[in-house]
């Protein structure tokens, strides 16, 4: 007898930004919180620009149209800052 294992990656449900933190609530009940410094475009955006975001792919990613920023939930779970910030945190 065999069984199949399906790995279901959690998806974003809600997103919020403060002046120094990005918070993402996931479908599995976790809330991720990362420094906004990981994403310089968001860190330099106004509060209204950071509030204007949309979920992509049923929550697999997040898009901020006014600042042209896209962040994947998989990247957040892996602890990956944006390419622009990687030199700072390397």
Q: Give the pLDDT confidence of 23-77 residue by residue, as tens digits.
A: 999 999 999 999 999 999 999 999 999 999 999 999 999 999 999 999 999 999 9
Residue ranges per structural domain of the chain: 12-89
Mean pLDDT is lowest, of 5-9, 10-14, 35-39, 51-55, for 5-9
For the stretch 58-72, pLDDT in tens is 999 999 999 999 999
12-89, which class in CATH?
alpha beta
Helix and strand totals (H; E) in the chain: 4, 6
Burial track 33-53 (b if 16+ CB lie within 10 A, e otherwise): ebebbbbbbbbebeeebbeeb
């Amino acid at each position: 007898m065999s069984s199949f294992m399906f790995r279901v990656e959690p998806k974003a449900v809600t997103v919020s930004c403060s002046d120094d933190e990005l918070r993402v609530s996931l479908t599995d009940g976790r809330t991720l919180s990362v420094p906004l410094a990981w994403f310089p475009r968001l860190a330099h955006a106004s509060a209204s620009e950071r509030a204007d975001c949309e979920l992509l792919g049923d929550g697999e990613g997040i898009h901020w149209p006014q600042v042209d920023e896209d962040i994947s939930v998989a990247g957040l779970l892996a602890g990956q800052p944006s390419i622009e910030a990687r030199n700072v945190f390397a």
